[in-house]
Structure 1
Amino acid sequence: MNPLLVASFVVPLLGSDTLGVQKPAVDSAEAKVPFGHADFTWMNGQSRQRSTPLQLGKYVTGSLYLDTYFSQSNNRPRDNTIVGSASIGRSGEFQINLASVGVSWNYQNVIGRIELQSGSMLNIVQDLDGSVGRGRNLTTAGLRNIRQATAGYHFDKGYGIDVEAGIFASYVGLESYLLGENWNYHRSLVCDFTPFYFQGVRASFYPTQKLKLEPWIMNGFQTYGRWNVAPSVGFSTYYRPTGSLGLIGNFYYGADQRGNPGRKRFHHDNSVLLRYLDRPTAHGISKMAFSLNSHYGFEQGGNGPSAGQAYMAGTSFVNSIWFNQDRLALAVRAELVANPSRYLAPAPTPGGFTDGGTDFMARGLTATFDVMPTDFFSVRAEVMTRASSVPFFAGPGGTTSVDGYLGTPGDFTPDVRRAQTLFTLALNFRL
């Protein structure tokens, strides 16, 4: 998800990964800049960089990103595997979660970006894409290391129209795929349950400086391929009337169940971001803001339960307080999600859920303390506790095998618990 830095950059509404491409400006000195009326680097899901050191000439911008962490589960799973989170996957180990390098460009209105990635988070997100099993000539291995790859054209109408095709970061949900852009290190449950990438086409319309309208056509809900015949469609609306307020509404509709083309999925999320105190030069409390991200979706038709059972509803509320000229921050989050048919809840074991039921509800509390000596580096300490109505988190016995290693023979029952507390220390670098 990059912020508006100078008038020579066109900026997406809510960060470089969730909402678009950071693009060097066209040649015109009078170019109109969307969302150029204020600084939005304070927002949840948004890069906080105020400058771009990797400006590689007039038309090309480079990017570097590194996310590394150490996390400990209070359940201390024998196989060091964390389940119930799409943000991190290992306990009691030092891990490179995500490393990325990329470039974006804008030359004579031809726009695009290529960003490559590696790290342990790919095993949680990209490797679980089952759509590549439909037919041949498509594999996760061939695409997993591409974080974004897009190409398109910019039209000088209004405040700009961008039409692009490729692999994009998802527009659904408030929080970024890049954990360093979020107020909390772990994403909220509602964002973990929704897509992180799409392959398809989008058009970004900026009718005014404060408004962005964005229709999408995609292969599916976090898929490289399609589950069925018809593509998926979506629409996003982003509005920033002032530098202290952001409003977002996202919609998705598609057929995303294998071999069940009559079953349709709908998903909607909306967000409010409000900065209610701003004293950037203060050495005490320098800024205060909150974000509220709420989701509702369902599946209906074809073979499966009705929308009364096959739904997802949840919300995440975060309040953040910055100190010492925005170099320290404390963010506290409360969250709740329900997904009774579990069509979005990630399976806690390779064999799925262990309780055999048709219910799921989870809640959590998270506190994150950030030390940010510059806009390009942060040290993050976090404690997060979550509980669910069914076994969902790895217990001491782990979820792999009798000794915790893949392939070890012997009778084994995965140890899955209803609660988990994670203590995490992370370092985030971005340039």
Structure 2
Amino acid sequence: MNKYFAGAAALTLNALLAGSALAQDSIPKTKIPFEGMDLTWINGQNRQRNFPLTVTDKNGETIFTGVALLDGYFNYNFARPKDNTQTISAATGRSNEFSINQASIGIESNYKNVIGRLWLQTGGMTHIVQEADGSVNRGRNTGTGNLKFIREAAAGYHFNVDYGLNVEMGIFMSYIGLESYVLQENWSYQRSMVCDFTPFYFQGARLQYYPSRKFKTELWLLNGWQSYNSWSKNIGFGNSNYYRPSENVQLVANFYYGNDSKSGTTELSKVRRLHHDNSIVARYYKNRSADGKGISQAAFSLNSHYGFQSGDGVKAKDNYMMGTSLAHRLWFNNNKLAWTLRGDYVTNPGGYLAFTPAVAGAIPNDYDIAIASGKALRMGQFSTTFDVMPSDFFTFRIEYAHRIANVPYFAGPGGTTSQTGFSNDAIDPNWKADLRKNENRVIVAVNFRL
């Protein structure tokens, strides 16, 4: 998912370069990658140009930058599931009630070539993403409680080689995909399914190298696919590549290889997983007039994924994921308003990456029956989003989203928890999760960020 990766610049020059207080990359003092490029318009990037929570030393050099974020939403699901549970989404976990999605504070530093980053978090999205990590059941002295409130934490060092060489270790936002973990950075609130079904974080080490002003490549050593711990005897490997020939075009190619998920009841994982995604984001119009009236910018993004897993009796032809997401965005009134249209499609035979709409095995549901019978999941999504952005620090967003699947997959009025809608009530053996083949929602979200 790039769910999370936001950027290509250090905090000292974020406003000029990547405009991202979430920047995972650090800037050399002599040669500056992507120098002079305004990247704040890109899907998956923070649009901030100013960072008021910056602390400098007596010489004016930035010591660290602090960041604060609050994201809340009201997600109206027209099916009105009785348990108010929103299924098949890592962006919204509840429906028909007000929810705090993410509250986060953090500091980032690149002081005297020493890289440091610590982000803390809480909110509904934490429960959806981090607490589903089954790798923490391998052995002792582990668990999601150790790490789930840490969104990102890393330490490293920057070497003045070419346009920059960074070596870091810690917990990072995922480099897979285009859209960010921070929903304000995306053109739409509900992520595309190709991004929602892929990782949001990795624990491991990475090397970032900038051989030129316009290109970045990364090598990763990872515990596994969105896992704090490892599923196997082997580590995972990753590679990410960014090419920006100008500030109007971004080309990305990402790769992952590892052994993931448990094999049987006694064996460590022997299932090999390979995943690739690529994307192009292009701005084809920018209004350079002084008045800023009418359309101020126009851009599109295309993000495509293909991956599979095989081994230990698992066949790639029955366990692969393929999908794409196309979005188009118009900005108005000096970028104070924006309108986005997006369509995406994904197929995932075997369902090894797809969300489960109800607790598998515990609650009978038609999705489990369809997948067990060999039917491949195919799903499409369309959304239209309108943003009001009076400043870099505030976003009001309203979005309509329609989704459709070839198997019963989305929550119906009966919900997916129990016959009463409460998780602490015994489940009637004659009850099963109410699943439908389509879904309609309206999301209203408010975001504050410094």
**Short-chain TM bin:** over 0.9
Contact 1:383–1:422 (8 Å) recurs in 2: yes
- The aligned residue for residue 271 of structure 1 is 279
- The aligned residue for residue 261 of structure 1 is 269
> Aligned in 2, Cα 1:49/1:373: closer, same or farther, shift over 3 Å?
same
CA distance in 2, matches of 1:340, 1:10: 43
For 2:425, the aligned partner's letter is: T
For 1:289, the aligned partner's letter is: A
Equivalent residue for 2:122, pick from 105, 115, 118: 118
- The aligned residue for residue 184 of structure 1 is 188
After TM superposition, the structure 1 stretch with the greater mean CA deviation from structure 2, 177-186 or 31-40, is: 31-40
- Aligned residue runs from structure 1 range 368-383, under 5 A: 368-383=385-400
CA distance in 1, matches of 2:427, 2:212: 64
For 2:433, the aligned partner's letter is: P
Equivalent residue for 2:319, pick from 310, 314, 317: 310
- Aligned residue runs from structure 1 range 136-285, under 5 A: 136-259=140-263, 261-279=269-287, 281=290, 282-285=292-295
Say whether 1:51 aligns with 2:59: no
Q: CA RMSD in A?
A: 1.8
- The aligned residue for residue 59 of structure 2 is none
Q: Deviation string for 1:151-201 (max 9, x for gaps)?
A: 000000111100000000000000000000000011100000100000000
Contact 1:16–1:46 (8 Å) recurs in 2: no
- Aligned residue runs from structure 1 range 27-38, under 5 A: 28=29, 31-38=30-37
- Aligned residue runs from structure 1 range 89-100, under 5 A: 89-100=93-104
Equivalent residue for 1:341, pick from 350, 355, 362: 350
Q: As a proportion of its length, which structure holds more helix? A: 2
Say whether 1:330 aligns with 2:339: yes
Say whether 1:82 aligns with 2:90: no
Say whether 1:286 aligns with 2:296: yes
Contact 1:2–1:49 (8 Å) recurs in 2: no
For 1:286, the aligned partner's letter is: S
Contact 1:311–1:340 (8 Å) recurs in 2: yes
**Percentage of matched positions with identical amino acids:** 47
Contact 2:401–2:440 (8 Å) recurs in 1: yes
Deviation at 1:9, TM superposition (A): 4.9
Equivalent residue for 2:440, pick from 404, 411, 421: 421
Contact 2:11–2:20 (8 Å) recurs in 1: no
Q: Secondary structure at the match of 1:354?
A: helix
> Aligned in 2, Cα 1:402/1:7: closer, same or farther, shift over 3 Å?
closer
CA distance in 2, matches of 1:3, 1:321: 24
CA distance in 2, matches of 1:396, 1:193: 24
Contact 2:319–2:352 (8 Å) recurs in 1: yes
Q: Deviation string for 1:247-266 (max 9, x for gaps)?
A: 00000000002135321000
After TM superposition, the structure 1 stretch with the greater mean CA deviation from structure 2, 78-87 or 53-62, is: 53-62
For 2:339, the aligned partner's letter is: L
Contact 2:47–2:392 (8 Å) recurs in 1: yes
Contact 2:16–2:37 (8 Å) recurs in 1: no
After TM superposition, the structure 1 stretch with the greater mean CA deviation from structure 2, 256-265 or 266-275, is: 256-265
- The aligned residue for residue 404 of structure 2 is 387
CA distance in 1, matches of 2:279, 2:189: 19
- The aligned residue for residue 414 of structure 2 is 397
Deviation at 1:303, TM superposition (A): 2.4
After TM superposition, the structure 1 stretch with the greater mean CA deviation from structure 2, 412-421 or 325-334, is: 412-421
Deviation at 1:7, TM superposition (A): 6.8
After TM superposition, the structure 1 stretch with the greater mean CA deviation from structure 2, 182-191 or 349-358, is: 349-358
Unpaired stretches in structure 2, ≥5 consecutive residues: 1-5, 57-61, 362-366
Q: Deviation string for 1:365-392 (max 9, x for gaps)?
A: 1000000000111100000000111111
Deviation at 1:350, TM superposition (A): 0.9
CA distance in 2, matches of 1:333, 1:150: 34
TM-score, normalising length from structure 2? 0.91
Contact 1:37–1:209 (8 Å) recurs in 2: no
CA distance in 1, matches of 2:380, 2:54: 43
Q: Secondary structure at the match of 2:151?
A: strand
CA distance in 1, matches of 2:201, 2:48: 23
CA distance in 2, matches of 1:8, 1:87: 30
Contact 1:4–1:39 (8 Å) recurs in 2: no
Say whether 1:299 aligns with 2:309: yes
Deviation at 1:401, TM superposition (A): 1.0
Deviation at 1:410, TM superposition (A): 3.8
Deviation at 1:110, TM superposition (A): 1.1
For 2:33, the aligned partner's letter is: P
Say whether 1:70 aligns with 2:70: no
Q: Deviation string for 1:65-115 (max 9, x for gaps)?
A: 111000110110000000011111101110000010000112221101000
Contact 2:16–2:38 (8 Å) recurs in 1: no
CA distance in 1, matches of 2:97, 2:15: 40
> Aligned in 2, Cα 1:86/1:392: closer, same or farther, shift over 3 Å?
same
Q: Secondary structure at the match of 2:407?
A: coil
Aligned positions, number: 424
Unpaired stretches in structure 1, ≥5 consecutive residues: none
CA distance in 1, matches of 2:18, 2:301: 15
Contact 1:4–1:36 (8 Å) recurs in 2: no
